[in-house]
Amino acid sequence: MAEFKSNLDETLSLISVEGRHVAMLTRWFSREGGLELYCHRLVEELLDRGVRVSVVCEENKSDFDHENLAVIDYGPPFKKLSKGDAYRYAFRKTREILERLENVDLVHSQQLPSPRHEVVTFHNHTVNRLSNTGRGLERVVNKAKSSFTDRYQTKMLFDRRLASEANCRIFVSSTEQEEYYREFNLDPNSPYVIAYPGATTGKEAAADAEPSDYDEYERVSRFPFLFVGKGYRMKGLDILFKACRLLKSYGAEFELNVVGLEKKPILAAALMRYKIEDRVNFLGYVSDVSRVFDRCYAIVTPSRLESFGMAPLQAMRHGLVPIVSRVSGIAEVLESGVNGLILENHLEPEELAFQMKRLLDEPELLSAMSARARERACDFTWEKTADATIFAYQHVIHSKMNI
Percentage of the chain beyond pLDDT 90 is 77
Is the pLDDT score of 4 beyond 50? no
What strands lie across the sheet with 21-25, from one edge to the other?
Answer: 3-5, 192-194, 168-171, 119-122, 106-109, 21-25, 52-57, 69-73
What CATH number does residue 390 fall under?
3.40.50.2000
Q: Which of 322, 319, 284 is nearest to 205 (CA)?
A: 319
Give the residue-averaged pLDDT of 317-339: 96
**pTM for the full model?**
0.91
Please check whether residues 141 and 262 belong to one and the same domain.
Answer: no
Please check whether residues 29 and 176 belong to one and the same domain.
Answer: yes
Q: What pLDDT score was predicted for residue 378?
A: 96
Q: Which of 90, 81, 87, 5 is nearest to 56 (CA)?
A: 90
Which band of pLDDT confidence, cut at 50, 70 and 90, is reported for residue 336?
A: very high
Judged by average pLDDT, the poorest of 31-40, 50-59, 128-137, 179-188 is 128-137
C-beta separation of 6 from 190 below 8 A: no
Please check whether residues 187 and 219 belong to one and the same domain.
Answer: no
The secondary element (H helix, E strand) that includes residue 171 is: strand 168-171
Helix (H, G, I), strand (E, B) or coil at 280: strand
Question: What is the spatial distance between Cα 68 and Cα 21, in angstroms, rounded to a whole number?
Answer: 9
Q: Which of 117, 111, 24, 115 is nearest to 71 (CA)?
A: 24
Please check whether residues 187 and 314 belong to one and the same domain.
Answer: no
Please check whether residues 353 and 316 belong to one and the same domain.
Answer: yes
Q: What pLDDT score was predicted for residue 170?
A: 98
Please check whether residue 69 lies inside any domain of the structure.
yes
Query: Any bridge partners for residue 70, and if so which?
Result: 54
Please check whether residues 252 and 297 belong to one and the same domain.
Answer: yes
Please check whether residue 203 lies inside any domain of the structure.
no
Higher pLDDT: 7 or 12? It is: 12
Is the pLDDT score of 44 beyond 90? yes
For 33-42, letters b (16+ CB in 10 Å) and e give: ebbbbbbbbb
Is the pLDDT score of 310 beyond 50? yes
Which band of pLDDT confidence, cut at 50, 70 and 90, is reported for residue 1?
A: very low
Please check whether residue 207 lies inside any domain of the structure.
no
Q: What is the dihedral of CA 333, 339, 344, 348, to 10 degrees?
A: -130
The secondary element (H helix, E strand) that includes residue 122 is: strand 119-122
Which band of pLDDT confidence, cut at 50, 70 and 90, is reported for residue 27?
A: very high
Please check whether residue 355 lies inside any domain of the structure.
yes
Please check whether residues 31 and 106 belong to one and the same domain.
Answer: yes
Residue 333 gets which letter from DSSP?
Answer: G
Question: What is the spatial distance between Cα 115 and Cα 113, in angstroms, rounded to a whole number?
Answer: 7
Is the pLDDT score of 326 beyond 80? yes
**Which residue range(s) make up the domain with 92?**
3-198+381-398
Please check whether residues 47 and 142 belong to one and the same domain.
Answer: yes
> How many independent structural domains does the chain possess?
2
Please check whether residue 118 lies inside any domain of the structure.
yes
Give the residue-averaged pLDDT of 161-184: 96
Question: What is the spatial distance between Cα 110 and Cα 369, in angstroms, rounded to a whole number?
Answer: 34
Give the residue-averaged pLDDT of 355-363: 96
Q: What pLDDT score was predicted for residue 13?
A: 67
Is the pLDDT score of 210 beyond 90? no
Please check whether residues 141 and 99 belong to one and the same domain.
Answer: yes
Please check whether residues 256 and 122 belong to one and the same domain.
Answer: no
Please check whether residues 263 and 166 belong to one and the same domain.
Answer: no
Please check whether residue 311 lies inside any domain of the structure.
yes
Average pLDDT in the chain: 90
Q: Which of 402, 387, 399 is nearest to 170 (CA)?
A: 387
Please check whether residues 391 and 343 belong to one and the same domain.
Answer: no
Please check whether residue 208 lies inside any domain of the structure.
no
C-beta separation of 394 from 22 below 8 A: no
Judged by average pLDDT, the poorest of 143-147, 159-163, 300-304 is 143-147
Please check whether residue 206 lies inside any domain of the structure.
no
**What is the tens place of the pLDDT at every residue in 369-400?**
999 999 999 999 999 999 999 999 999 998 87
Query: Letter for the amino acid at 245?
Result: R
Question: What is the spatial distance between Cα 119 and Cα 167, in angstroms, rounded to a whole number?
Answer: 6
